[in-house]
Amino acid sequence: MKMIFHVLSIPLYPTSKEITVCPFTQKVYKFCKSMTERGHTVFHYGHPDSEVVCTKHFSVISRETYDKTYGNQTWREYHNQNIQNSAHDEFNDNAAKLIKQNKQTHNDFVFAFWGIGHRNCLEKLVNDFILVEPSIGYDSACGQYRVFETYAQMHKLQFKIHDSGTGCFTDAVIPPGFYLDDFEFKKEKQDYILYLGRMIDAKGLQIAQDLSIASKTPIKFVGPQNQENSLNKNNPLAEYIHTVSYEERKSLLANAKALILPPLYMEPCGWAMIEAFFSGTPVISTDWGGPSEYIKQGVTGYRCRSLNEFYHALKNIHKINPQDCRDYAEQNFHINKAATAYENYCQHILDIRQYGFGFVKESCNFLVPEV
């Protein structure tokens, strides 16, 4: 069954494969491309400079408003995520009007990847569209139907959304999907460890620095260097690199002996972790949130709870086979698997809306894939 998707992009950036600083932008890009390739109708609403595979793109924010809000920053800078500004207001107002004009059927889906940042738009559409909040990677939700990337994040938000902590039959977990050709695979690694992400204390910057110092291993900190943090930069083995291009990111991931992902908070997923797997690079992380679900201990990386464990994980990183990381990523995070899961999820929503919970059909595509 072919479906109609109205996809809201992120007001902070144009949608493009090249814009690596924002995982939400990458989620929009990959969803639009994969669903268009499968023959669905995909309308994309976003910045006029967006470069995205879709049925049709609609610009919903002017360059004048965008530049006035975010100044002369390039996409390599981490933009202020305040959603109470003129850029979000204009984006949401224009998107709501255009989505109403472009409505095709009574079963059109609206996918809001920015969640509460799109609330003002969704409130205008709630009675006429099926509103899905996919790939939730933050601590709030406002969509009718919600999709998470890990069970850790789903359970966390279910306790916030439902006071009793009860489950919801239309909440689902769909791991992120990636295109295999987007990565460079290397078995032979260079002598450095890689930190890749936002340059904020909550991401565990100091743990990564302390690991480099204790193990006498060079480390590359790659991320928006315009963010404030309290990282002690007294490490002569550390290199600080501003947000890199798509091709540079591929190379850094493929050549690193390990990716260091030590968040202090409950990481909703950890996209860099999965990108590392595709590159044949093991991951060393703290042991909660997304990494606790997706790192196979001693096979694709190590989950740690002390600097001593981080140190010995790195000391033993050579025992992990890069091909095992790559194979694991292909089997679990390929774009085709994610796209199929979203198709099944949307059909599940249509069935629930038509028949209620208590229906039985002749066949079933499980939302949770068989092992």
How far is residue 56's CA from residue 59's CA, in Å, rounded to a whole number?
10
Residue 77 has pLDDT above 80, yes or no: no
Residue 366 has pLDDT above 80, yes or no: yes
Domain count, the chain: 2
Strand partners, 136: 148
Cβ atoms of residues 100 and 82 within 8 Å = no
**In b/e form, how buried is each residue of 328-365, taking b as 16+ CB within 10 angstroms?**
bbeebbbbebbbbbbbbbbebbeeeeeeeeeeeeeeee
Residue 97 φ then ψ, to 5°: -65, -45
How far is residue 317's CA from residue 320's CA, in Å, rounded to a whole number?
6
| Domain annotation covers residue 49 | yes
Q: What is the pTM of this model?
A: 0.95
| Domain annotation covers residue 369 | no
Regarding whether 222 and 126 lie in a shared domain, the answer is no
Which range, of 38-42, 245-249, 358-362, averages the lowest pLDDT? 358-362
Summarize pLDDT for 212-265 with one digit per residue, the tens. Answer: 999 999 999 999 888 889 999 999 999 999 999 999 999 999 999 999 999 999
Regarding whether 82 and 215 lie in a shared domain, the answer is no
| Domain annotation covers residue 364 | no
Regarding whether 184 and 80 lie in a shared domain, the answer is no
Output the pLDDT for position 37.
98
Regarding whether 211 and 140 lie in a shared domain, the answer is no
Cβ atoms of residues 272 and 279 within 8 Å = no
Among candidates 62, 61, 59, 33, which has minimal Cα distance to 45? 59
Return the SS3 of 174. coil
Strand partners, 260: 284
| Domain annotation covers residue 272 | yes
Residue 158's pLDDT band (cuts 50, 70, 90): confident
For the segment 271-280, the average pLDDT, to the nearest whole number, is 98
Residue 310 φ then ψ, to 5°: -60, -45
| CB proximity list for 335: less than 8 A, separation 6 or greater | 30, 34, 177, 178, 179, 180
| Domain annotation covers residue 366 | no
How far is residue 325's CA from residue 359's CA, in Å, rounded to a whole number?
40
Output the pLDDT for position 164.
62
| Domain annotation covers residue 150 | yes
Regarding whether 215 and 128 lie in a shared domain, the answer is no
Output the pLDDT for position 165.
66
Regarding whether 281 and 146 lie in a shared domain, the answer is no
Regarding whether 241 and 103 lie in a shared domain, the answer is no
Residue 91 has pLDDT above 80, yes or no: yes
Regarding whether 162 and 29 lie in a shared domain, the answer is yes
CATH number at residue 19: 3.40.50.2000
Residue 149's pLDDT band (cuts 50, 70, 90): very high
Domain that holds residue 35: 4-177+335-355
For the segment 173-192, the average pLDDT, to the nearest whole number, is 97
For the segment 27-50, the average pLDDT, to the nearest whole number, is 97
Contacts 24+ apart (CB under 8 A), 285-290: 285/260, 285/261, 286/204, 286/207, 286/261, 286/262, 288/152, 289/150, 289/152, 289/153, 289/263, 289/265, 290/149, 290/150, 290/152, 290/153
| Domain annotation covers residue 360 | no
Q: What is the mean pLDDT of the chain?
A: 94
For the segment 166-191, the average pLDDT, to the nearest whole number, is 94
Output the pLDDT for position 82.
86
Regarding whether 114 and 91 lie in a shared domain, the answer is yes
Residue 304 has pLDDT above 70, yes or no: yes
Residue 357's pLDDT band (cuts 50, 70, 90): confident
Residue 41 has pLDDT above 90, yes or no: yes
Regarding whether 188 and 173 lie in a shared domain, the answer is no
Q: Which position has the higher pLDDT, 137 or 45?
A: 45
Regarding whether 184 and 173 lie in a shared domain, the answer is no
Regarding whether 250 and 134 lie in a shared domain, the answer is no
| Domain annotation covers residue 362 | no
